């Protein structure tokens, strides 16, 4: 009896490389750009280009987009924090966030105050 094995290659795997979106924390205690338009599956990388620590905190609960999990005392100068948009994120979703040292949370549908930003999921 001959057994034949067919190796499936997984079909339409998405091997497309999506470049990271870069957001900077600046010396003016701002995120730049304020709005990052991200594709599903795209990684956003926040890099601290300032001389003091900053954080990325979701205004409303969004698992994963919280730099405290990696840097409990804030992202140090020269370091980066990354978050990848889930593949099932709704198109058009806007994830507001803030730095807990230099900003305040909004209500989830608008910016808070101070050092704030938003990630919008785009098609
Ligand atoms: Cu800050």
Residues with CB under 5 A from ligand 1 (ion): 54, 99, 101-102, 115
What CA–CA distance (Å, rounded) separates 113 from 16?
37
Where do we find the tokens 């409990």?
72
Residue 6, pLDDT above cutoff 70: no
- Which pLDDT value is given to residue 18? 81
- DSSP structure class, residue 50: S
Cβ contact 122:91 at 8 Å: yes
| Token code pair at residue 60 | 């409303």
CA of 65 to the centre of ligand 1 (A): 15
Residue 113 CB neighbour total at 10 angstroms: 11
CA of 74 to the centre of ligand 1 (A): 8
pLDDT in tens, 45-54: 999 999 999 9
Cβ contact 81:58 at 8 Å: no
pTM: 0.85
CA of 68 to the centre of ligand 1 (A): 13
Give which of 61, 96, 55, 105 is closest to 76, Cα–Cα. Answer: 55
């Amino acid at each position: 009896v001959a057994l034949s094995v067919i190796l499936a290659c997984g079909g339409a795997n998405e091997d497309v490389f999506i470049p990271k979106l870069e957001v900077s924390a600046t010396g003016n205690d701002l995120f730049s750009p304020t709005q990052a338009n991200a594709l599903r599956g795209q990684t956003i990388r926040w890099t601290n280009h300032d001389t003091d620590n900053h954080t990325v905190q979701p205004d409303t609960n969004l698992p994963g987009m919280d730099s405290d999990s990696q840097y409990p005392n804030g992202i140090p100068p020269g370091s980066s924090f990354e978050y990848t948009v889930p593949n099932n994120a709704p198109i058009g979703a806007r994830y507001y966030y803030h730095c807990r040292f230099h900003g305040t949370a909004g209500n989830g549908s608008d910016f808070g105050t101070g050092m704030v930003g938003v990630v919008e999921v785009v098609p």
